[in-house]
Structure 1
Amino acid sequence: MRLTVSMAATCAAWALAASGAAAGTLDVLVLDRDGKPTPDAVVIVTPSGKGQPKTPLLNSAVVNQEKQQFVPTVTVVAVGARVRFINSDPWNHHVRVGAAGAAVGASDGQSAVLEGKQDGKPASAAVFTMDKPGAMGAALLGCFIHSRMGGAIYVAESPWTVKTNAEGVAVLEDVPEGAASIKVWHAAQLVEKTPLQVNVLAAPAKATFQLDVAPRRRS
């Protein structure tokens, strides 16, 4: 029996669907209240189908304190990941990892003082374990010594969790075909918005999510 190209493609699609391997790519554009692209927003996609992305979430990460900034500003990790904070500045820094919305100085966060880096010596560092997933476990980063410093660690509850790039776009690959919900987390968005419902297909798809806030741009 000879199959035409279209019949062969259809059979291949049926085989992928039967094996549960059918997946697509989803590009999510996050806009702020004013319609401008929002970098460093965390996009969380929860598909109805089963699967795993080829690129797993980070089980470890490094955040630098450099030029009185946390670099990167936002880090996405897996549950139980160990995050190493390094002070690359010549002056002392404090690092506090606390739950979003917690009062400054709350006792339930992790904190450490990191001495300034001296020439010829290793930079001081501290390692914290991130074990609370999702928006409730999202950690805000701060420094008691330099109040302008800020950042965030997001512990993903879905393996399809990616932060947006400088153009406000998050690219999520290997998302199982079918219904899926999209949530977006940003430290400035205090009230969680209703998830966006989409249908993922084999062909690349795009979606847009708009926040209710206009986050301050990092200088």
Structure 2
Amino acid sequence: MVVFECKAAGDFVARVTDTQGVSTANAVVSLHALNFTPPPAADAPRAFMDQRNRRFDPHVLPVWTGTLVNFPNSDEIHHSVYSFSAPKRFKLPLYKDMPAEPLMFDQSGVVTLGCNIHDWMLGYIYVTDTPYFGITDAQGTTRVDALPAGRYEVRLWHSHGETRTSQVSETVQVNDAAEVERNYRLELRAASQDMQPAPSTNSVEDKFGRWSN
């Protein structure tokens, strides 16, 4: 008989606001183990970054390093997704009902996404080297359940943060069968061009769903 060691688990809940106390959505909260090494994934994790109504959906996608990300296109038109970010540089033409091969994101960091055809489209893939993370909802809340008991460094990241890198907030202790709750405030820049309303479909490429490369 083979016996596997299993650490007891606890939960972590984070509530994030800006400096005015307004709930902040799309903040990535990650917990990095300090006194143990997380086990590797049995298989490469999978995630999806869709194109829907000429927006990236979700706007921010957090993934663990080594994740395969699919880029489905739910629009009737052609997209040409790209990134110049150091963790993952790529260009990916996307057609309706013609799925592209998934891309491996194996370097941690922020990957900023754009579309060569619809230049207002802006999205982010946040690649973290820990399997313990979450992203805040409209109420500024996220929870990470079943954390192995231990000490963690909590990091926060938001696309409107004062720095493009994650902000180290504190070290927390997670105990067996306990829930840790924390409140955080982030200094955020004014919203730039993130998630602008999509313009009307009057352009040739939008009407016919194709683009000359």
TM-score normalised according to structure 1 size: 0.72
**CA drift at 1:59:** 1.2
Identical counterparts, % of pairs = 28
Alpha-carbon distance in 1 for matches of 2:43, 2:18 = 26
Structure 1: gaps spanning 5 or more residues: 1-18, 103-107
Which structure carries more helix by proportion?
1
**CA drift at 1:58:** 6.8
Alpha-carbon distance in 1 for matches of 2:99, 2:190 = 31
After superposition, give the CA deviation of every residue in 1:154-200 in whole Å (9 maximum; x if it has no partner).
Answer: 22211112212222112112223343221011222242434222232
Give the counterpart letter for 1:211 in structure 2.
Answer: L
Residue 113 of structure 1 corresponds to 93
RMSD (Å), alpha carbons: 2.9
Aligned length: 186
Which segments of structure 1 move beyond 4 Å, counting only runs of 4 or more?
55-58
Give the counterpart letter for 1:174 in structure 2.
Answer: A
Residue 74 of structure 1 corresponds to 60
Residue 38 of structure 1 corresponds to 24
Alpha-carbon distance in 2 for matches of 1:150, 1:32 = 21
Give the counterpart letter for 1:212 in structure 2.
Answer: E
Residue 145 of structure 1 corresponds to 117
Q: How does 1:155-174 map to 2 (within 5 A)?
A: 155-174=127-146
TM-score normalised according to structure 2 size: 0.74
**CA drift at 1:51:** 6.8
CA distance change for structure 1 residues 206 and 124 in 2, over 3 Å: closer, same or farther? same
CA distance change for structure 1 residues 208 and 98 in 2, over 3 Å: closer, same or farther? farther
**CA drift at 1:142:** 0.9
Give the counterpart letter for 2:65 in structure 1.
Answer: V
CA distance change for structure 1 residues 139 and 56 in 2, over 3 Å: closer, same or farther? farther
Give the counterpart letter for 1:195 in structure 2.
Answer: S
Larger Rg: 1
CA distance change for structure 1 residues 59 and 93 in 2, over 3 Å: closer, same or farther? same
